[in-house]
Structure 1
C-alpha cells in the first residue's frame, strides 16, 4: 500500500476546478476535505438544488458525490489523469438523508495500470449511519512515457 499521495488535496482540487468547472454550476459543488494513500474524503455542501420531493437529498446528488470522490482518490494517487473514466457505478441507498451536508469517504481497493476499483461510504454530516454505499470501477488510460 502506498504511504503517500502523488497530488495534494489542494492540487487535486485545483485540477478538478480546471477540468470540471461545471461541478460548481448552480451552487456549491463537492469539496475535497482530505486525500491520502488510496483514499479521499469529500463534502457535498447542502444546497436546495440537491433536494427531491419530500425534503430528502436526491439520489443523483449522492451519485455525483461518490463518482467525484472516487475520481479524487485516483487523481491523488496517480496524478492528473483527466481521461480516467467511470466504467461502472453501483449504489445501495440505505436511508433518506435530510437536508444537510453529505460526507463521502472513498477507498480504492485496487489501483492498477488499467483499472481502479473502489467504494464510497456516504453519511450525513455528523451521523454514523450510512445513507449510501457505492462501488465503482474506472478505466485508466495508458500513460505516455
Structure 2
C-alpha cells in the first residue's frame, strides 16, 4: 500500500466530480463561502470566522497555469531530514496554478517541457513516487492536461 509524503495536504481519493485524480485537502468558510488551501483552523481570511465555520473540503486536482519557472540551482533538504525520500534535484519546474475550486497554489510540475508551458494551460494533479527505499512513497505534483 503506498503512503503519502504529505497526507495532511492531499489524498489518494479524488472528488465526486474528479474521482480519477488525487484531491487537495482544503477548506471552506460556512459563513462567507471563501475556499482556501490548505485546511487550517486559524480563521477565515475574508470574514475572520473560526471554529465550526471552517469546514474541510476536498478540492479537485485541476486548474489553470498562471506562471512557471525552471529552477537550475537548488539547495536540497539535508538527507537526514527525509531519509526515505529521494532529494529533489535541479533542474525542476515550479508552477503557480489557479485551482478550479478557487485557491491559487504553488507546486512542482512534472511531464512538462518548459517552453511548451503557457499561461491558462490546463493542469491536473498527479501522484509521483519519491521513495528512495523499499517503501512506496508518493507526493503530489501537477502535469499538463492531455
Structure with more of its chain in helix, by fraction: 1
- Using structure 2 for the length normalisation, give the TM-score: 0.28
- Using structure 1 for the length normalisation, give the TM-score: 0.28
Structure number with larger C-alpha Rg: 2
